[in-house]
Amino acid sequence: MTGSSQYGHMYAPLRTPNFRMFITGQTVSTIGTLVQMTAQSWVVYQLTHSPAALGWVTMLGSLPMLLLGPFAGSIADRVPRRTLLIGTQAILGSLAAILAILVQTDVIQIWHIYVLAVITGIVTAIDMPALQAFAADLTGTAMIRQAVTLNSMAFQLARIVGPSLAGLLIGYFGTATAFWVNALSFVAVIVALARVRFTDNAATQLTARPGASTHGAAGSKGGPLEAISYVRSQPMMIDLYLFSMLFVFFVFSTMTVMPAFVAEVLQGDARVLGLLGGISGAGSMTVTLLILPVVHNVRRTGILVSGALIWFGTMLMIMTSIANPSVSEVIRRVGDYLGISEPIVVTAAIFGYLQGMAGPLVMTTSMGLLQQMSPEAMRARLLGLSSMITFGLQPFSGLLVGYSGEHLGPANALWINGFLLVSCTACLLVFRSSVRSEAPRPASPPSTPPLVTSGVVEKHEVPATASVVAGASAS
């Protein structure tokens, strides 16, 4: 496949009008979510000046994913996803509005944020598996990896815009504005969901979908135990879960202490925090646009993902050297020589960009291959299981990093994360032969995406595994 055809192949899902609506609404909503995440972490740190409190917020928001992940996947395999996700998006928007009111009226307390974090986590645990399964519903299994890549591209765009926009909103209009922006952003995805239309034929297929049976959610057949049994028989799928676990435990958790790192090491404010988040997103977007289309056909994905994790850990350890007085003094002298006004912040931004390059190679590659390897009848359950064993780790990783930052300092906490990430990834690469094995090719040949006329998905002559499922929706 030539370079131009590789890039054209990656954008193939955009030929489906319903997918275009979904990705547009999702991008707007994700920008709002990242605006709120940045603003919320800054509010927590301003209220408490405690990295541990940041860890508690992360723990409380992520714990529901650990407890509800597989059961949420079973729900998403059984009920119309559009209806489910319109409901979850409306609730999430309402929670953002409540937080905005609390901040704007200046009555916000840390326990308010704790309670809202728990409720948001419960709703997100239900929302996430259906959202992740939605791409295949719209594009068919033959284009899952391309759809996941485009989803990642939208997320990286949001990572560039969201944190930077949050910093500007907080700096010029106040923190409450950031939460109002997030509340309004949910309107975009709800409108997109409402405009997606499926035919009666597709609705019939949803009813007849394997796995949409009446077995109990906890039962072996059709429930989470069936998904667990399937994963145990797939060594490469276990590797994908392990990669995601490492990324969430050692990479996502760095965001927990980043406000403290900005305030104590970089001597910055909310605008600097937003700048670093946006720069990291720019690094991820660069890789999504230029590298992912080229590596889609790489068969030894385990080696590729391992390299990306080691890269992130190494860049993180180097970045934390800014906290060393001797290093920071050298950086200042070089900055003065080059005429750079804030050389410490610029150096942190450069390494933030380099770190951001690893994210798409890890998560997009892992999630795309996971969906490609998943049987259609249990796709949402396997994704729910992924949420449980990956994002469900955030309660522990966020709390550990938060307390580590409080007692050892944010720079040391980040260095430890980078060192452990490199060490654990190297162990996987050496001791698990499946990590070094070739990934399986798609089981079925590429199929034509569903025809869509005036926003209505029409039944097309495609294999059952690639047809559109009624009631599927996005968030």
In this structure, what CATH number is given to the domain that contains residue 160? 1.20.1250.20
pLDDT of residue 392: 66
**328 domain-assigned:** yes
- Phi first, then psi: what are they for 472, rounded to 5°? -65, 145
Question: Which tens digit of pLDDT belongs to each residue from 316-362?
Answer: 999 999 889 999 899 999 998 888 888 999 999 999 999 988 887 88
Distance CA 131, CA 120 (A): 15
State which residues form the domain around 245: 3-212+222-466
The residue with greater pLDDT, 57 or 438, is 57
Report the percent of the chain where pLDDT is more than 90.
20
Residues 441-466 have a mean pLDDT of 39
Confidence of residue 219 (pLDDT cuts 50, 70, 90): very low
**472 domain-assigned:** no
155 pLDDT more than 50: yes
pLDDT of residue 354: 93
**217 domain-assigned:** no
Question: Which tens digit of pLDDT belongs to each residue from 94-108?
Answer: 999 999 999 999 999
Question: Which tens digit of pLDDT belongs to each residue from 31-44?
Answer: 888 898 889 988 99
Residue 201: CB atoms within 10 Å = 14
pLDDT of residue 9: 61
Residues 49-58 have a mean pLDDT of 82
pLDDT of residue 91: 94
Looking at the chain, how many residues does it have? 475
DSSP state of 384: H
Confidence of residue 209 (pLDDT cuts 50, 70, 90): very low
Q: Structurally, how many domains does the chain consist of?
A: 1
End-to-end CA distance of the chain: 33
**199 domain-assigned:** yes
Question: Which tens digit of pLDDT belongs to each residue from 165-195?
Answer: 888 888 888 889 999 999 998 888 888 888 8
The residue with greater pLDDT, 157 or 447, is 157
Average confidence score pLDDT of the chain: 77
Residues 203-219 have a mean pLDDT of 41
Sign of the C-alpha dihedral computed for residues 163, 164, 167 and 169 taken in this order: negative
Q: Residues 54, 394: contact at Cβ < 8 Å?
A: no
pLDDT of residue 204: 38
**441 domain-assigned:** yes
Distance CA 112, CA 192 (A): 31
CA 333 centroid distance within chain: 38
**475 domain-assigned:** no
pLDDT of residue 215: 38
Question: Which tens digit of pLDDT belongs to each residue from 376-416?
Answer: 777 777 777 777 776 667 667 777 888 888 888 999 999 99
CA angle 120, 125, 128 (to 5 degrees): 110
Residues 369-377 have a mean pLDDT of 74
Least confident window among 214-228, 296-310, 329-343, 361-375: 214-228
**57 domain-assigned:** yes
Least confident window among 45-49, 144-148, 365-369, 433-437: 144-148
Question: Which tens digit of pLDDT belongs to each residue from 122-149?
Answer: 888 888 777 777 666 676 666 766 777 7
Burial state string for 273-288 with b = 16 or more CB within 10 A and e = fewer than 16: bbbbbbbbbbbbbebb
Distance CA 140, CA 137 (A): 6
- Phi first, then psi: what are they for 79, rounded to 5°? -105, 160
Distance CA 404, CA 390 (A): 21
Distance CA 198, CA 84 (A): 15
Tell me the two tokens of residue 464. Answer: 């059952």
**471 domain-assigned:** no
Distance CA 444, CA 130 (A): 23
pLDDT of residue 450: 45
Confidence of residue 310 (pLDDT cuts 50, 70, 90): very high
- Phi first, then psi: what are they for 218, rounded to 5°? -95, 0
Report the percent of the chain where pLDDT is more than 70.
77
